[in-house]
Amino acid sequence: MASTMRAVDIEGGKGGIDKLHIKEMPRPKVDHAKALVKVKAFGLNRMDLLQREGMYPVPPQAPKTLGVEFSGTIEELASESEGGFKKGDAVFGLAYGGAYAEYIAVSTHMLMHKPDELSWEQAAGIPETWITATQAMYLIGEFAEGKSILWHAGASAVSIAGIQLSLANGASEVYATARQDEKCDFCVKQLGAKAAYNTETTDWSAKILEATGGKGVDIIVDYIGPATFAGNLNVAAKDARIVNLASLSGQKLKPGMAEPNFGAFVAKRIRFEGSSLRSRDEQYQGRLRDQLHDHALPKFKDGSFKVLIEKVFPWNQIQDAHRLMESNKTKGKIICTIS
């Protein structure tokens, strides 16, 4: 096997879309519990855009190459690899980085066998997205049957997964928000949310309070940050959990944004917690992989859970793929294939 491979590189280490290009790089080596996987497809995530611009805190163990989710076939296994895997197996999984490449070295603790019912493209769109939704709901949000939940950015890939997980696992009510009416309709008509509100044109927190008879919601999963902070405190029920996964509206409150009522934290016993999946250790991520394997994979096989893909690009069009993600017009995953 050749000692080099092709991978997507960022010219100068960081920059705009035009800095992305494919170049020859050393092929990664495997050790400990790692497998070398020949990548068939990889999924794009918003953190990729931030990392490309040099604005994402990359874990120290991550390679400089972008990409955290992929599908492919095992080419080689290290001596301490997890049992149940062999050369030639079709797999998909989560990595700290390196998926925008022909080969990736990844822990076998973060791999799963690809079901025949899923395409390479569908499998590549599951790991980061569905594991993040699972983590937000269960480990941080403390979801249980009968609780209500609000997913911001309802047409994003993580919220598409989260809405499906919520409905399948007995949420009493599922709400969503988006910035376009078309996306709100999508959340209700295609995903099954009870209601979805346009954050640009409606007082979404007032609408949800009205819909819940003033109770509010038990769990809020948020990626927006300052722009939704005050509304989240308003719409949170007693003992609510607000899970913050990103801050897409900036790092600070800006003029014109609603002022938060900090008294709500005490009055309603609200817990606000931020989290990042990528910075977690391998054991933590492995537990989430097991939960995904045991509880979600059967539903992917029978078709009750769906991986919604906006568009598939050949990887030599990686600039176009990033451009589409930056447009904020997608409903579902963007996938690149390697041939």
pLDDT tens, position by position, 173-204: 999 999 999 999 999 999 999 999 999 999 99
Which pLDDT score, from 0 to 100, does residue 1 have? 72
Query: Are β-strands 4-10 and 271-274 bridged in parallel, bridged antiparallel, or unpaired?
Result: unpaired
- 74-107 pLDDT tens trace: 999 999 999 999 999 999 999 999 999 999 999 9
Contact 297, 267 (CB under 8 A): no
- Six-digit token string for 149: 């939940």
pLDDT value for 303 = 94
Cα–Cα distance measured from residue 28 to residue 64, given in angstroms and rounded to the nearest whole number: 12
Phi, psi at 34, each rounded to 5°: -90, 155
Q: What is the pLDDT of residues 116-142, one digit of tens each?
A: 999 999 999 999 999 999 999 999 999
Taking the CA atoms of residue 295, residue 161, residue 121 and residue 83 in that order, the dihedral angle to the nearest 10 degrees is -30
DSSP state of 120: H
pLDDT attached to residue 131: 94
Give residue 282's pLDDT: 86
Q: What residues of the chain score a pLDDT lower than 50?
A: none
